[in-house]
Amino acid sequence: MLLGIIVNILAAISAGLATVLLRRVATEVEKPDDAKLLPILIRRPLWWVGIAALLGNFVGTYFAFRLAPVPVVQPFAAVSLIAVVVFAIPLLGERPNKAEFIGIIAVVVGLFVSLATIGDDAGLKEISPVVFIAVVGGLLVYCVVAYIIFRRGVIKGDSARGALVGTVTGTAMGVGAAMLALLGAARNGDPGSWIPPTGLIIFAIVLMLIAGAWGIGRLQHALRELPANYVAPTHQITLLLVPIVVAVTVYGQTLPGGFTQWTMRIVALVLVVGGIYILSTAKQVAEDMEVLEAGGGHGGIHPVPPQGHAEPVETQVEAAAPAPDADPASSTRTT
């Protein structure tokens, strides 16, 4: 089980490296229309290194799910955000701010507490079709309904809209990750583990691709309209939690333990989620996530103010304009 954790940490580090590499490539090229961007990117070796790192994350995550239950290894996916901050120092010349240090400490402490609660391996239990449809179908229905609400502007305010669409994209991509977890758990080699039928395996592969691609696409569109640090917190937190929820409720991967162990697990999860929130609202990580999820950069990237406070454009314009009763002679004008 410890090997599964190590593999998932390496996969998360690979994802963080990919994020920073793709951001560096995006900052080195002009930002033309999306149709012209990909041909520019594919001619840059560093872009291919970033894509290879992303594939490494996918493969590593799959093997991590083969080696250990989802509730054990999934929290360690938060290491990717720490990796973004660390790799950005030599590759982008950026320095962590105070908030990022606090977020890193919270995540690291939470993961160490989580290590102390590891119990016996929990193999895959026989999946009830009713439970599978209820849980996974319910999550997908939420994605569609919530995204319709987002697109129709039922909820006002950029911060609220960003939080809503973040849960949509995180849930969709989380369902994709949960299907990847099913594929890994189905081949974990545990004699007591249930082996899914071939039809379910094929369905899981198709759903993984569709849900993941849909979530990435919706995230890209959302990041065109909203600052990344409005979307990132709920996206990252939901993406972390959805595979755990599916694993516990559908796959039967519950963890043994008494009151003390479960209290420690809850504390660990709170620390990790809190650290993710702090890191994903920090300017550096939020901007890097925007570049990664948007396919390596796109035109019109929104500036992301630190700590999630965006100054409205109207306020900026009003601040730049002279007061109505100001003396024209007192203002400085260049011609």
Q: What is the pLDDT of residue 144?
A: 96
Higher pLDDT, 78 or 229: 78
Amino acid at 31: K
Maximal C-alpha separation, the chain: 86
- Is residue 331 predicted with pLDDT exceeding 70? no
What distance in Å separates the CA atoms of residue 314 and residue 323, rounded to the nearest whole number? Answer: 15
Query: Mean per-residue pLDDT for 151-157?
Result: 89
Whether residue 96 has pLDDT greater than 80: yes
Q: Is residue 191 one of the residues assigned to a domain?
A: yes
**Is residue 314 situated within a structural domain?**
no
CB 13 within 8 A of CB 42: no
Please state the rounded mean pLDDT for residues 150-169.
91
For residue 235, being part of any structural domain is answered with: yes
Per the domain annotation, does 200 fall within a domain? yes
- Cα 282 from Cα 20, distance rounded (Å): 15
For the stretch 227-254, pLDDT in tens is 877 888 899 899 999 999 999 899 988 7
- Please state the domain count of the chain: 1
* Cα(245)–Cα(240) distance, integer angstroms: 10
Task: Determine contact, residues 164/155, Cβ cutoff 8 Å.
Answer: yes
Q: Between 31 and 303, where is the model more confident? A: 31
Residue 40 — very low, low, confident or very high, per pLDDT cuts 50/70/90?
A: confident
The verdict on residue 279 lying in a domain is yes
Whether 30 maps to a domain, the answer reads yes
Q: Where are the beta strands (DSSP E) in the chain?
A: none
Neighbours of 51 (CB within 10 A): 16
Classify residue 328 by its DSSP letter: G
pLDDT for the residue 23 = 79
What is the pLDDT confidence band of residue 36, given thresholds at 50, 70 and 90? low
Alpha-carbon distance 311 to 289, whole Å? 21
DSSP-derived letter for residue 191 is T
Whether residue 125 lies inside any domain: the answer is: yes
301-330 pLDDT, tens digit each: 333 333 333 444 434 444 444 444 444 444
CA dist 64 and 111 (Å) reads 16
Domain hosting residue 134, numbered range? 2-308
